Amino acid sequence: MRPKKQRRIGYCPCCNYFKPRGISLRKLDEINLAVDEIEALRLADLNNIEQIKAAKKMNISQSTFQRILTLAHKKIADALLSGKAIKIEKIDD
C-alpha cells in the first residue's frame, strides 16, 4: 500500500459533534467524519469549486478527491436518515 499523501486542510470546524435533538448522545450510534472529508464537502458543496481545482487545493488527485467526497456524502446521508450522531475528527496540531 502506498503511503498517504499529506492533504491540505484550509478549515478548522468550530464544533465537532452534531446529533438529533432530544436524544442522549449515549443512546446514539456515531458516524465519524475525517477532516479531509469535511474539507472536501466545504470546497465542493459549500464553495462550489469544481473537483479538479478543489483537489489541487487539497494537494491530492481528482480521483482521490471524488472518493473522499462520495464517502463523506454517504456518511452524512446515513447519519441523517438513520438518526445517528456525526463526530468530526479533530485536526492534529
For the chain, what is the domain count? Answer: 1
On the question of pLDDT at 7 being above 90, the answer is no
pLDDT, position 50: 97
pTM confidence score: 0.84
Taking the CB of residue 9, how many other CB atoms lie within 10 A of it?
18
Which range marks the domain in which residue 44 is found? 30-88
On the question of pLDDT at 70 being above 80, the answer is yes
Burial 53-71, CB ≥16 within 10 A → b, else e: ebbebbebeeebbbebbee
Q: Given pLDDT bands bounded at 50, 70 and 90, which one contains residue 16?
A: confident
CATH number of the domain where residue 62 is located: 1.10.10
Q: What average pLDDT does the chain have?
A: 89
Give the residue-averaged pLDDT of 36-65.
96
On the question of pLDDT at 34 being above 80, the answer is yes
